[in-house]
Structure 1
Amino acid sequence: MVEARTGQPAVDDMWAAYVAASGYDGPLACSFAFGDSAEMADELGLLVVHGPKRATAGLLAAFEAENEPLPQVGDRSIVLGGDGTPLAVIRTTEVRVGALSSVDDAFAWDEGEGDRTRSWWLDAHTRFFTRECRALGLVLADDTEVAFERFEVVWPTS
């Protein structure tokens, strides 16, 4: 995931609109785009806004390498498109750290990508995490630790 903090006017504007509408008085955890390309960020961001994507997964080593905290239940974050446009505010509802191979059918379904099967999820995420591991000087293995996160969209509301 590509991450950015506040300080971008469009992100600040979306956050202000969410806070005003919801009365939420906590902090913005982060703003981020899914994936490792603008195209992937757009595709996955639109799955959050318009569809089934209600989960994501990230390498524990990537969080550690970037000195970023793991998501926590209750965190609010802004999902960005590939050009940095804010798309939605999400609230983390569950976080579990486990081996890559521990992904189950329900989590693969909740990620909302591809055909939503565990097999598809493992194939796609193995390719993605292999690229990420290579950039970190690591080798991906079945027991590589992953942060599995579920979320709900809280802004804009339908």
Structure 2
Amino acid sequence: MSSIDPSPAPAAEATIPRRALSPCDQDAARTLWEEYAEAHPVAASANPGFLVDQFGDHAELADELLELVLTGRKTSTASLLAEYVWEGETPPGIGAHTVFCDGHGAPRAIVRTIGLALARFYDVDAEHAWAEGEGDRSLAHWRTEHRRFWERVCTAAGRSFSTDMEVLMERFDVVWAAP
């Protein structure tokens, strides 16, 4: 059963030229991971694998969000759980490490997942929105921008966004940053 969306859909976005994400440099990501593992062997051996990923769906957004992570303002992120299914991927678990690359594909930071929770779009709370560190950090901003983002993501995947979709809220710590 679908719930009624109490807010209007965001206004259509102006067509803004956006630079496509460059693929992550897997060799450089492995090198960054090896540097971390050498400096922190216990932490790395407790969770020996790592993911390689980027924030957003275009290079400018990836760079903007990664900068928020590197400055400590962004300590959480959110994904549609359905995206993992569409892409045949497994969501991260507690303790998982992810090497995040910038919009050019260069690895810049390693984060460790420290918390996970699921909620429907309108059940995501103000605390999570604040921890994501984006815009004015308000829940209203989070809803507007994430809805826009997920509408683009769903459209690109040949799907339709619904506020009934489950959102995977992930809290993380930066454990290593590229020099």
How much is the aligned-residue C-alpha RMSD, in angstroms? 1.9
User: What count of residue pairs does the alignment treat as equivalent?
Assistant: 155
Amino acid at match of 1:48: V
For 1:140, the equivalent position in structure 2 comes to 161
Say whether 1:28 aligns with 2:49: yes
For 2:36, the equivalent position in structure 1 comes to 18
How many Å apart are 1:156 and its aligned residue? 3.1
Distance 1:156 1:21 in 2: 12
Distance 2:135 2:114 in 1: 23
Equivalent residue for 1:85, pick from 106, 128, 146: 106
Instruction: Give 1 or 2 for the bigger CA radius of gyration.
Output: 2
Higher strand proportion, which one? 1
1:52-93 superposed Cα distances (whole Å, 9 cap, x missing partner): 111111111111011110111100111110011111110001
Equivalent residue for 2:133, pick from 112, 120, 124: 112
Gaps of 5+ in 1: none
Say whether 1:50 aligns with 2:68: no
1:75-114 superposed Cα distances (whole Å, 9 cap, x missing partner): 0111110011111110001111221111101100000100
Distance 2:157 2:58 in 1: 17
Partner SS, residue 122 of structure 2:
helix
1:1-47 superposed Cα distances (whole Å, 9 cap, x missing partner): x8x78x72211110010000111213233111100001111111111
Equivalent residue for 2:117, pick from 71, 78, 96: 96
Equivalent residue for 1:71, pick from 92, 99, 109: 92
Query: What fraction of aligned residue pairs are identical, expressed as a percent?
Result: 40
Gaps of 5+ in 2: 1-20
Say whether 1:40 aligns with 2:58: no
Amino acid at match of 1:119: A
Say whether 1:126 aligns with 2:144: no
Q: In the alignment, is the contact (CA less than 8 A) between 2:26 and 2:52 conserved in 1? A: no
Q: Which moved more, 1:104-113 or 1:50-59?
A: 50-59
Amino acid at match of 1:14: L
